[in-house]
Amino acid sequence: MGTLILAVTSLFLYSVGTALQALHFRGRVQSNLAITTLIGVLALTSHGLLIGQTLHQSGGFDLSFFKSSMLISWLIVLLLLGLNLKKPVQSLFLGVYPLAILTIILALVAHGPSRLVSDQSYGMLSHVALSVTAYSLFSLAAIQAVLLYVQNRQLKHNYNSLLVRNLPPLQTMESLLFEMVWAGVVLLILAIVTGALFIEDLFAQDLAHKTVFSILSLMVFIALLIGRYTRGWRGITASRWTLAGCLLLMLAFYGSKFVLELVFHRGG
């Protein structure tokens, strides 16, 4: 199937999914798990096929800025669809589907130098897989943290907005956030460990920025978890720490890629 057809199909399905979630959010239609899952799976399938056609090249995978962003958005949708089967995370679709649409468009229209990872470098591929999965999970945690922050602020001011009425109870929102952070920390530790094992010089010039900010991010998330169980951190405090850690992780991944590829035009 052609790249353009897959792209248009993905964009259409994500747009339909966004519209349905918006209508549900405003109380115009009832939520239906089967329809939500079906649309999401169809969009995910065409999105995945598109990734296969654009990322895979002769001898390896192109993980340049825009193409890796499209891969991460695919993983975010995949994780969210899985979580939605068991957890009340439907409100996150309103942020995730437009993000997927944006990354697909940018991957097709924007151009930059390629960063090729050999398909024979299994150690490096395992590091990349763990890294992008951790980034994807923490991206979901960031959206969850924003919603939790807004929910806390509005409840404290007795403001019964449309957002508050659509979100799960505060305790459930906090529990979901910390579950995401726990899983993300485990994946991030594994990503850093595999990087240390399979990358010859983890603090090489092109990787120093990424390594330092990834470790700083991990320290913030670990501090958050310790604070949760020793000092009872929750609500706005938990949201702020989560967003701080996610910002550092974003600087580690997107910051280094942006500077190297789009400023200095350096591929790999």
Place 266 in a pLDDT band, splitting at 50, 70 and 90: low
- Quote the tokens at residue 151: 């929910």
pLDDT at residue 251 above 90? Answer: no
pTM: 0.88
> Could you give the 3-state DSSP secondary structure of residue 116?
strand
Do residues 106 and 112 touch, judged by C-beta distance below 8 A? Answer: no
Amino acid identity at 169: P
pLDDT in tens, 139-186: 999 999 999 998 888 888 777 777 777 888 888 889 999 999 999 999
Which pLDDT value is given to residue 268? 47
Which string of b and e fits 225-240 if b means at least 16 CB within 10 Å? beebeeeebbbbbbbe
Across residues 261-265, what is the average pLDDT? 55
Helices 122-156 and 235-250: crossing angle in degrees, nearest 10, is 150
- Quote the tokens at residue 259: 């500077």
Residue-range domain boundaries for the chain: 1-119, 121-267
Q: In which region does residue 7 sit, left (phi positive, over 0), alpha (psi from -120 to 50) or beta (all else)? A: alpha
Do residues 61 and 110 touch, judged by C-beta distance below 8 A? Answer: no
pLDDT in tens, 91-145: 889 899 999 999 999 988 877 667 777 766 777 888 888 999 999 999 999 999 9
pLDDT at residue 70 above 70? Answer: yes
Whose structure tokens read 């590829």? 261
Across residues 23-29, what is the average pLDDT? 83
Q: How far apart are the C-alpha atoms of 229 and 226, rounded to whole Å?
A: 5
Which pLDDT value is given to residue 89? 86
